[in-house]
Amino acid sequence: MQSHYDLIVIGAGGGGYPAALRLAQSGRQVLMVDEKGNLGGNCLYEGCVPSKSVREATVLWNQVARAGFFGLDAQRVQADWAKIRAYKDGVQTRRYQQHTQEIAKTPNLTVIRGQASFTDSYQVQVDDWDHHDQFVASATDIIIATGSEAQRLSIPGFDLTWNHHDLFAWNDTQPTLPSDMVILGGGYIGVESASMLADLGVNVTIIEMAPTILQGMDEDLVQAIRGHVGQRVKIVTGVMVEAIAENNGQYVVSGHKVQDAQPIQFRTSRVMAAVGRVPSIPSSLHLEKTGVYYDRHGITVDERMRTNVPHLYASGDVNGLSMLFHSAVRMSEIVAQDIMLGEDMHDSFNPHEMPTTVFSRPEGLAVGLTRTQAAQRGMAVEEYTRAMGTEAWAQIAGELDGFMKFVVSRSTGRIVGIHGVGVDAAALSAAAHMAVRLGLTPAELGHMTFPHPTQFEILDRLARSI
């Protein structure tokens, strides 16, 4: 094993592997160390990919239940959690096999399943778990891409909770689902999980400390999703959870109402924690030996993912800027460009333009600023809205509810935010991202033509109506 590399990447998730592949393909010698020994990070192992696989099964089941709308006489379909798990695991296996092939085809790239620890800002000690070996390697540049981990609450009984691992981990998912569940947290992970579990027949209650679920998102979006998901899920906001206890095979969640401090309890068969994620900076990394600035919010970086130590970069969830897989990939690509081009690189990361999706039923999308966020920046805006159900595709699909909203700057006339709820909202976020990132005006977006009949037509039609 060589001792010096052009680049060492610690972590093979979205914040790490795009840069590793690109720089290795450019001729640089790259060492990537990851505890799973493959690409994809937590997103593939127990996050985005498996959760959306389970969600896809529930969407199809719901479509079958609506077969009569399409003139079909469908036989009764049952949800089999064991078979859904097998389908989910199969999707993950296929992607892991694909990534294994990518690694094998990439010249100049060495991937080790193990752990890396800094000895100083240029060197790491590598524990190679597969070969029971330990060695020290140095590099010209190092990328820290250790991702994030589920946040914990410092309350009695928190260890009794499930989290996303129990529902979505590759080949390690819980074998059965409970009849009922309390989910702590009303962010997008909690709402998505509640929506799909309710579709699988679980009686779900969401408990959120804030006054509303999906805190920080567009108010109309929140109201629309709460209105629909709330028909299948009990949503309780404004509650501070203080303890979880096991009692005769049940779990008791105790807390108090934030507004008046009145005590409140919930009894359930299972508790799941979805109280957010925090940057993962394990003590074993020994980051303190590098001189890099960091705190509980993550490693401090600039718009090019550079830390205060010139040759050290931090991309992905570990810097806390935008904890989304596609954001991590974007950051990683920026790092690759910065290493290859240096001061000739003219690209940067803007977390506010990253698309956010809520894979509930119905779906939601958020790109850019809300009216409230614009006001906080002293920006005067106008909002323009069009109903999802006015488009042919929504009518064909029989999903008429929801809306698309543009937030437009009064001073520049540019679209600074796009938010929506309804059919194909997650896919629409891609086009919304381009409009916001490119700083298009409604007139410029209106010059584009989206294919008929697709839900994308709502974008150019709303633009032309302004």
Give yes or no: residues 177 and 271 share one domain.
Answer: yes
- The reply to whether 326 falls in a domain is yes
Give yes or no: residues 141 and 15 share one domain.
Answer: yes
Structure tokens at 209: 């400390």
Give yes or no: residues 22 and 129 share one domain.
Answer: yes
- Distance (Å, whole) CA 271 – CA 265: 13
- The reply to whether 269 falls in a domain is yes
What is the value of pTM for the model shown?
Answer: 0.96
Give yes or no: residues 288 and 251 share one domain.
Answer: no
N- to C-terminal Cα separation, the chain: 62
- The reply to whether 424 falls in a domain is yes
Give yes or no: residues 141 and 271 share one domain.
Answer: no
Give yes or no: residues 316 and 450 share one domain.
Answer: no
- Distance (Å, whole) CA 368 – CA 433: 8
The per-residue pLDDT string of the chain (466 residues; one tens digit each, 9 = 90 and over) reads 679 999 999 999 999 999 999 999 999 999 999 999 999 999 999 999 999 999 999 999 999 989 999 999 888 788 999 999 999 999 999 999 999 999 999 999 999 999 999 999 999 999 999 999 999 999 999 999 999 999 999 999 999 999 999 999 999 999 999 999 999 999 999 999 999 999 999 999 999 999 999 999 999 999 999 999 999 999 999 999 999 999 999 999 999 999 999 999 999 999 999 999 999 999 999 999 999 999 999 999 999 999 999 999 999 999 999 999 999 999 999 999 999 999 889 999 999 999 999 999 999 999 999 999 999 999 999 999 999 999 999 999 999 999 999 999 999 999 999 999 999 999 999 999 999 999 999 999 999 999 999 999 999 999 999 9
Whichever domain contains 331, its CATH number is 3.50.50.60
Ordered DSSP codes for 345-382: ------GGGS-EEE-SSS-EEEEE--HHHHHHTT--EE
H/E element, 72: none
| 262: β partners | none
Pinpoint the alpha helices (H) of 266-356.
325-341
From residue 115, give the alpha-carbon distance in Å to each of 51, 107, 146, 282. Answer: 27, 22, 11, 11
Give yes or no: residues 10 and 142 share one domain.
Answer: yes
How many domains, the chain? 3
Give yes or no: residues 269 and 293 share one domain.
Answer: no
- The reply to whether 354 falls in a domain is no
CB-based contacts of 388, cutoff 8 Å, min separation 6:
394, 399, 400, 401, 402, 403, 404, 420, 421, 422, 423, 455, 458
- Distance (Å, whole) CA 431 – CA 458: 11
Give yes or no: residues 55 and 134 share one domain.
Answer: yes
Give yes or no: residues 333 and 395 share one domain.
Answer: no
Give yes or no: residues 114 and 86 share one domain.
Answer: yes
Whichever domain contains 417, its CATH number is 3.30.390.30
Which residue range forms the structural domain that includes residue 165? Answer: 160-275
Give yes or no: residues 16 and 139 share one domain.
Answer: yes
Cα dihedral sign, 272-275-277-282: negative
- Distance (Å, whole) CA 251 – CA 268: 5
- Distance (Å, whole) CA 400 – CA 393: 9
- The reply to whether 350 falls in a domain is no
State the maximum Cα–Cα separation within the chain, in Å, rounded to a whole number: 67
